[in-house]
A = this chain, B = another copy of it.
Amino acid sequence: MSPPCQPAFVTGHNHNHCIEQALARAVALCKQRNSRLTPSRRRVLELIWQSHQPLGAYQLLAQLADEGFNSAPPTVYRALEFLLEHGLIHRLASLNAYTGCSGPGTQHSGYFLICQRCNRVQELASSHLKEAVREQAAQAGFVVESEIIELSGCCPQCRTATDE
């Protein structure tokens, strides 16, 4: 499997690589699982990967409509459901929006950094953080089944931009 996508908050980040890799991984994963990456599902995934700025369901819907796809809400929600189930995208609860998963295939919760200036999102893969979370929950006798960790703030690029 190809390597994980480059982090969003990296200078010199070539986003075409992200898109290509994300699509290649999705095709491989679906083949491996005998799942069908149909045209509308594939297109939704592509649209989500067009940038690291998460898109809402109705933004996706509008773009699909422009391209001649069916444009009723269930179309996009079904595609999103499929992509979520296969771990190809994540839903950001704080934004009601969807972003590409940077490391599908490996089972993981998403930890997200959300820049409030440029709206880009970067996924963290921190086993350290995961341990801290589980530990705190365990102290309360709680068994964690799913986690939402979304950190909003200012990314390094926007920080240097506002420093000037």
Contact = CB atoms under 8 A, between A and B. Distances in A.
Interface in A94-148: 94, 111, 113, 115-116, 122, 124, 126, 128-129, 132-133, 135-137, 140-148
Contacts of A137: 113, 124, 151, 153
Contacts of A13: none
A93 B96 CA distance: 9
16 contacts: A93-B93, A115-B142, A122-B140, A128-B135, A129-B136, A132-B133, A133-B151, A137-B151, A140-B156, A141-B155, A142-B151, A142-B154, A142-B156, A143-B159, A147-B151, A148-B149
B93 A111 contact: no
A70 interface: no
B116 A126 contact: no
A150 interface: yes
Interface of A: 7, 9, 93-94, 111, 113, 115-116, 122, 124, 126, 128-129, 132-133, 135-137, 140-156, 159
Given A111-B136, A136-B111, A153 B148 contact: no
Nearest to A125: B136
A151 B144 contact: yes
Given A94-B148, A137-B151, 8 more contacts: A93-B148, A93-B150, A124-B137, A129-B133, A132-B133, A142-B154, A144-B152, A148-B150
Contact of A9 (B142, B145, B156): B142
